[in-house]
Amino acid sequence: MNAVDSSLRRADPAVVRSDWTRAEIRGLFELPFAELMFQAQSLHRRFFDPTKVQISTLLSIKTGGCPEDCAYCPQSARYDTGLKASKLLDRETILTAAREALESGATRFCMGAAWRAPKDRDIAELCGVIEEVKRLGLETCMTLGMLTAPQAQKLKGAGLDYYNHNLDTSPEFYAQVITTRTWRDRLDTLAHVRGAGMSVCCGGIVGMGEQVEDRVGMIHALATLPTHPESVPINLLVQVEGTPLMGEARVHPIDFARAVAVARVAMPRSMVRLSAGREDMSDETQALCFLAGANSIFSGDRLLTTPNPGGDRDAALLARLGMKSDGQAGTR
């Protein structure tokens, strides 16, 4: 039995590890594709119903004008992407979108604001939004940038279920993508979210010019957090004209599916979200990612400011695969 097989056995059936080594994560990436997919699907079936996919909706509640220099982001004020900045949406506009999401079959409503960090007055308004969205029966998630501990506590008090704050890439590659906030800043925000008792949504992006070793480092960083993120979005870079990462070499679908599968093996109880980039994926690529352990998608024709497959296309794909949407596709 090789080291990777041994690591898999140690996670069976209910022990979730946070002591992965980089060598073990690298070994997963180096497995023959069929073997990696088998291990990922085996673990996926232990903890989830493989026929169910959670449907979420993501709304940009404050668009553009962000002072950060994230090289992938069309919302940065540093890049000319043709995006017009706007203020925080009023409460009724957000609630109307939440009702529409609920009617379309979503059970999770995510809200994103292009801020470096929210101001306390923003938190006060958003707490009211959270309370009203929760009354609709939707699970709630927000991504607002960096948080202080008191801000995290207020969001939790309002009933926020999840907070999204991605690590994006490996600690070694990070500074080539972002210079306006540090890796430590991100970890601090995650600690504040955990300390407040909220669930964590944290993942990264594939296709930013990183090497495979950076994908190893990203998943190693996620899988060695004291508690695994309950939600792990694996994003495929959406290339936007005007951003520094426009023109990067495209990632092969099998290489992308490898990243999804390794995330599933390393974090077997987490929801693995097939997030940005699905508009550029074929149905076959998405099916491969579901086989690799992805069990959540964002539905709707926009994902913050970039295109996303519409609900009709998603419904047709799930039907073709004999799968169904279920926001309660939780652990067994």
Active site positions, annotated: 66, 70, 73, 110, 141, 201, 273
**Dihedral of alpha carbons 298, 302, 308, 313, sign:** positive
Question: Rounded to whole angstroms, what are the CA distances from 213 to 5, 17, 63, 173, 219?
Answer: 21, 21, 33, 10, 10
CB 265 within 8 A of CB 223: no
| CB atoms inside a 10 Å sphere around CB 95 | 17
CA distance 226 to 218: 15
Helix (H, G, I), strand (E, B) or coil at 78: coil
Nearest C-alpha neighbor of 185 from the set 211, 172, 166: 166
Between CA 90 and CA 65 the distance in angstroms is 18
| Spatial distance between the Cα atoms of 273 and 257, rounded to a whole number of angstroms | 12
Which helix (H) or strand (E) is 236 found in, with range?
Answer: strand 231-236
C-alpha–C-alpha distance, residues 156 and 123, integer Å: 11
Q: Which distant-in-sequence residues (6+ apart) come within 8 Å of 73 by Cβ?
A: 66, 79, 243
- Distance CA(77)–CA(83), nearest Å, equals 9
